[in-house]
Structure 1
């Protein structure tokens, strides 16, 4: 099983990858170059770069699978969230749809997998934490900016970036429609999950650890719930609603690290009758230190590398038995 696609090959309907090794194992995948136009990169954060470079060799090299090119993220000493204009700009940020055909298929896909490989340079210093790329989606342009405490149109967007914390502890840092069901499910995931003051959820804190000088493969699977009806009453996404949720089939979010499932959240309502067109739109490819304040800032100038961008449209008519075997 390829860690970029940690599901049975029979579930993959179509997809793409920038990894030649992955393309050779799954004939349905389109092999594409690591370029902005091909991957549908847009809304790039100003004053940051994501140059394609030859990454340094990892501490333990695997020539057959190690990327030979990657996007480089540079974090100057003292850099924080790019929104903090008093600190050096670090990391990068943009949205990524994938190749044109794949982006078109996303509009109607109910289950999607997106993945990448990340390597923090040898000698990396974690400080308090920082953000990593993850799936985003929603209804049209409402899908953008679904973070940072946003309160408007929260029924119409979701954002599933990851975070690193002290000592390389990983977590899913998720913004999902605000309703009691999602809050209950998100905060129930071990080893620890909490709702943050900015309304995002830290899910599965410490469920895995990143290691400097090593390529780590991150994959996210999302299954959109089917939309039911709520007898003509107010939108389910309203934070005051907690009835009639049984009318909605279960949505899911799953995180895989190096092919191993580390976080799986079921029973979610990711769209309702006010947002029936909500769907996965791609990856929010963002990374920075923070938080917003100086205690989050990068303690030294350092670099991280991102490669093997991949995605798949998945077959959803699978049994619970098959899912448990992933």
Structure 2
């Protein structure tokens, strides 16, 4: 009889494996046990526990009951529809129509936005969803994509500066360059703005991980964002971005996201529109962005 050992070259898995004080005969049983522990370990750290997922859209009622959306914040209903999956699959997807010249939810068919709280507020939450840009999509100067929020609604750039609240939305920039925009009324510590991948802007949101990935048109992307709130009075918050559902693309720690323990991660801020302050920054063409399979999980929390 001898003790099973993990193969060399993966120290992290060796540590996990050695904590299980099991002795087996060398050979097949050892290999099977090691593989089982490997699967369990990685499923725990990458999959997490699914807390909520969206329902498939039907007609124009894409935000059905389980979203629990705040209807007072719902803008852009005319842009919303349920359409056949552009990849030819036999299911419908959430489609947002973005008309030529549209920007910033300033006119009809310029996108959509609402706040959704399908779960009890939490200290940490992961949002996962799939997004696809129509083949003719022109990324122009940039735009907004769904993310997480907390501390109440209307806390995006230009919102109520007197509130203790935050939003952390995915964004795209020229050429489809991806990242996130964190807006918070809390003050950051010295040095945060010097962190690699951070572009600070108190008025319009701190850009995080800009250029860490890039969108292409005509392709479904699974994107994932985790927000872990800081301890009030400390700079120990955390934002992580991943693409494709596997692996870290960008993360930043030592973030101040809230000032009060009453602020939690409330849910999803659905945003989809071109940014900017004039039609020059709007969509160059009539086009669509497509969304499906929204999930809230506890990954990395």
Bin for the TM-score computed over the shorter chain: 0.7 to 0.9
Aligned partner (choices 191, 209, 219) of residue 224 of structure 2: 219
Deviations along 1:241-288, one digit per CA (max 9) or x if unpaired, are xxxx5xx2611011111123222110122223xx21100111110110
Aligned partner (choices 123, 137, 148) of residue 110 of structure 1: 123
Contact 1:185 1:266 in 2 (8 A): no
What does residue range 19-30 of structure 1 map to in structure 2 within 5 Å?
Answer: none
TM superposition shift of 1:304: 0.9
- Which residue does 1:90 correspond to in 2? 110
The structure with the larger Rg is 2
**CA 1:150–1:194: 2 relative to 1, 3 Å:** same
Task: Choose between structure 1 and 2: higher strand proportion.
Answer: 2
**CA 1:175–1:134: 2 relative to 1, 3 Å:** same
Please say if 1:278 is aligned against 2:263.
Answer: yes
Separation in 2 of the partners of 1:121 and 1:92? 16
Aligned partner (choices 233, 257, 263) of residue 243 of structure 2: 257
Aligned partner (choices 270, 289, 301) of residue 304 of structure 1: 289
What does residue range 110-259 of structure 1 map to in structure 2 within 5 Å?
Answer: 110-138=123-151, 143-150=152-159, 152-154=161-163, 156-181=164-189, 184-190=191-197, 193-196=198-201, 198-227=203-232, 248=234, 250-259=236-245
Please say if 1:37 is aligned against 2:65.
Answer: yes
Length-normalised TM-score, structure 2: 0.75
TM superposition shift of 1:41: 2.3
Name the structure, 1 or 2, with higher relative contact order (CA <8 Å, separation 6+). 1
Deviations along 1:187-239, one digit per CA (max 9) or x if unpaired, are 5133xx32236241122221110010000111111112233xxxxxxxxxxxx
Aligned partner (choices 45, 51, 58) of residue 15 of structure 1: 51
Equivalenced residues, count: 252
Separation in 2 of the partners of 1:198 and 1:269? 16
Question: After TM superposition, where is structure 1 displaced by more than 3 Å over at least 4 residues in a row?
Answer: 46-49, 313-316
TM superposition shift of 1:290: 1.3
> Tell me, which stretches of 5 or more residues in structure 2 are unaligned?
1-40
> Tell me, which stretches of 5 or more residues in structure 1 are unaligned?
1-6, 21-32, 228-244, 317-326
Separation in 1 of the partners of 2:239 and 2:255? 8
TM superposition shift of 1:119: 0.3
SS in 2 for 1:180: coil
Separation in 1 of the partners of 2:49 and 2:108? 43
Contact 2:150 2:167 in 1 (8 A): yes
**CA 1:255–1:44: 2 relative to 1, 3 Å:** same
- Which residue does 1:25 correspond to in 2? none
- Which residue does 2:79 correspond to in 1? 49
Separation in 2 of the partners of 1:19 and 1:189? 38
